A and B are shown apart, each in its own frame.
Chain A
Amino acid sequence: MTATPLGRHLPDRLTTRTNRLIRSWELLLLAIAVAIFIFNAMASPYFLNVWNLSDATFNFTEKAMIAFAMALLIVAGEIDLSVAAIIALASTAMGWALQFGVGTPGLVGIGLGTGLLCGAFNGILVTRLGLPSIVVTIGTMSLFRGISYIVLGDQAYRGYPDSFAWFGQGYIWWVFTVEIAIFSMLAVAFGILLHRTNFGRAVYAIGNNPTAALFSGIRVTRVKFILFLLTGLMSGLAAVCLTSRLGSTRPSIGLGMELEVVTMVVLGGVNILGGSGTIPGVVIAAFVMGLVTFGLGLLNVPGIVMSIFIGALLIGVIALPRLFAMVRK
């Protein structure tokens, strides 16, 4: 063990920015997105139509809202599989409040609040009791949706006010939907949070080595708790958008969405074991998944083929850099 000489120059980055960018996952993903876009445009005469593309963004906007928070959570080495169930519970809570004549601002507040509470519940179980997040959230996945089923059974809440429809069916300007605006703002906000703040550095540090992070003075459990809160909040937001888009609540709302969210995050280059990943990657992955499902939908490809395609894409994109590295050795 030799002592490190004092005053040795430590570079901020190990490679230059351009070098890193060229070899990055994000660029590969972007190339795939462009390729899929070109493919779609050639394969279907209906693809290059702004209104159609605008409709297509609904395929991923709500999932992506959750995916941003989920990306941070996975980078920190945790996961939340209860997000779709939180949507169901938050939507049920809003529908229930609706029966008492609560207006649009109140409904949104209740949706977001329910999401926060669910996130806090997950967070407490994981950080205070020290339980593995995958086990906890598989449990709360059944719990949250179970409550919705008990409340609603085979019934539905309907009759949301017209002003509430703005979130999931409204347009900000021309073809730009409210959801795509929320998605864009969140992309920037989460990008800044993860890549430009101390909090973001702490998330990476925890994901790479929680013990070392703790010894460096990072309040590991607090950061994790905040991440669960954030994921719950984003699920609540997705619940507001989805409920608004559907105009009704049923306990099966958003069923199975958690897997698509995790797929989006992993496709975006976030290491499922924690420690690395970027928000731009998740943004591009959201577009890739949206483009694939919409493009294949235009060709009337059966849904099962779409699932196979997404699965193959996921494995391909993950395996490709590894194979590339192996070939170079």
Chain B
Amino acid sequence: MRILKTLISGAAMAAALVASPAMAQDNVRIALVVKALGIGFFEAANKGAEEAAAELGNVEIIYTGPTDTTAEGQIEVINSLIAQNVDAIAISANDTDALVPALKKAMDRGITVISWDSGVAPEGRQLHLNPSSNPLIGNMIVKLAADHLPEGGDVAVLSATTTSTNQNTWIEEMTKVLPDYPGINVVSTVYGDDLADKSYREATGLMQTYPDLKAIIAPTSVGIVAAAQAVVDAGKVGQVNVTGLGLPSEMAGAIESGASQSFAIWNPIDLGYSAAMLAYELSQNDVTVEPGAEIPMGRMGSLTLDDNNEGAMADPFVYDASNIEEFKSIF
């Protein structure tokens, strides 16, 4: 029985230690729920949310999420947030549908629910924040190439597969805005199937077929890395600029070697910041969430909602030699 006594008194002591930092009730508590903890992208989003909290003053950010990327884990987290009666939940969902019942319950109990990055079905959230939009991405990828080609020139597109919905949409959007970039001549679109070796061969082929090629646009994180490697191996650094969408951690080498001048992807810090700002607006100020509404989000401007109550945050963020060092360790 002595063991039991020791156990209980030990637990009581531990309880006393933990009990002291009782929650500060006056603060607006916004929970930033991520897919899983320990992912650089989300840690960066938390940094942005904390920035928003500092700007707003009376906000406490609860950064939380399950250990692995399961819907069940996120539901346990949501249940404990409902129990704490937080003011708002901003979630990047592991499952579009499975979280709906739990999030509905949260909304029934008066908690503001928004999704960001990875969305929840409309009935499970008030609004969804997309990092960017297809037209913005389509425009950005050609702009990145054009910015380094003041005289114009031949560019080619290295995409994923012929059936990749995202890439096809972005290329379509890019084609729409091409007239805005006179002198930029898209000579070919090839497909690397999001395989490193095939993308590499396709990029090499492009450079052989079009000796005057000035830029390769790869709107896929696999293709852009492979194309940069192909340019280095062909000894065409400085002649052919590789750009498109990529991850800073994977593209740091290409920026350093000069094979890529710049590329784009969403900025997780801005995303976390905007999510926190929107959650605050919805829970504290009388904002009507409806198609067409414009909701302010601090330094990121405002979010315009579409028919599904979704909105795009901003242009994809441009990464180049000036900021790659800072971001390559994040994601």
Chain A positions within 8 Å of B, measured between CB atoms, are: 22, 28, 31-32, 34-36, 38-39, 42-47, 49, 51-52, 55-56, 58-59, 156, 158, 165, 168-169, 242, 245-248, 250, 252-257, 293-294, 297-300, 302-304, 306-307, 320, 324
Whether B97 contacts A158 by the Cβ 8 Å rule is yes
Whether A31 contacts B8 by the Cβ 8 Å rule is yes
Taking the nearest CB of chain B, how far is it from the CB of A311, in angstroms?
12
Whether A38 contacts B11 by the Cβ 8 Å rule is yes
Chain B positions within 8 Å of A, measured between CB atoms, are: 1, 3-4, 7-8, 11-12, 14-16, 18-19, 22-23, 36-38, 62, 64-68, 70-73, 75-77, 79-80, 82-85, 95-98, 100-101
Whether B100 contacts A247 by the Cβ 8 Å rule is yes
Whether B97 contacts A39 by the Cβ 8 Å rule is no
Docked complex Cα distance between A42 and B14 (Å) = 10
* Chain A at the B interface: SS class: helix
Taking the nearest CB of chain B, how far is it from the CB of A66, in angstroms?
14
Docked complex Cα distance between A259 and B79 (Å) = 22
Whether B64 contacts A36 by the Cβ 8 Å rule is no
Determine the chain B residues whose CB is within 8 A of the CB of A304 once the complex forms: 37-38, 67
Whether A156 contacts B15 by the Cβ 8 Å rule is no
Closest to A36 in B: B11
Q: Which of A39, A56, A242, A247 is within 8 Å of B15, CB to CB? A: A39
Whether A250 contacts B72 by the Cβ 8 Å rule is no
Closest to A165 in B: B101
- Knowing A242-B72, A320-B3, say if A303 contacts B79 (CB, 8 Å): no
Whether B73 contacts A303 by the Cβ 8 Å rule is yes
Determine the chain A residues whose CB is within 8 A of the CB of B71 once the complex forms: 246, 250, 252-253
Whether A38 contacts B12 by the Cβ 8 Å rule is yes
Taking the nearest CB of chain B, how far is it from the CB of A158, in angstroms?
5
Centre residue among A43, A52, A253, A306 by max chain B CB count within 10 A:
A43
**A-B contact list, 11 entries, CB within 8 Å:** A32-B7, A36-B11, A38-B8, A39-B11, A42-B15, A43-B15, A45-B23, A246-B98, A247-B97, A254-B72, A303-B67
- Knowing A248-B98, A297-B77, A299-B18, say if A49 contacts B83 (CB, 8 Å): yes
Docked complex Cα distance between A7 and B40 (Å) = 74
Whether A246 contacts B67 by the Cβ 8 Å rule is no
Whether B83 contacts A302 by the Cβ 8 Å rule is no
Docked complex Cα distance between A246 and B93 (Å) = 13
Whether B68 contacts A255 by the Cβ 8 Å rule is yes
Q: Which of B7, B12, B18, B75 is within 8 Å of A31, CB to CB? A: B7
Whether A297 contacts B76 by the Cβ 8 Å rule is yes
Whether B11 contacts A35 by the Cβ 8 Å rule is yes
- Knowing A297-B79, A303-B66, A324-B3, say if A245 contacts B101 (CB, 8 Å): yes
- Knowing A36-B11, A252-B71, A320-B3, say if A55 contacts B79 (CB, 8 Å): yes
Taking the nearest CB of chain A, how far is it from the CB of B252, in angstroms?
27
Taking the nearest CB of chain A, how far is it from the CB of B129, in angstroms?
22
Given A55-B79, A253-B71, A255-B68, output 19 extra A-B contacts at Cβ < 8 Å. Answer: A34-B8, A35-B7, A38-B11, A39-B11, A39-B12, A42-B12, A46-B84, A47-B83, A51-B83, A56-B80, A158-B97, A242-B72, A246-B101, A250-B95, A250-B97, A253-B72, A256-B68, A300-B84, A303-B36
Determine the chain B residues whose CB is within 8 A of the CB of A255 once the complex forms: 68, 70, 72
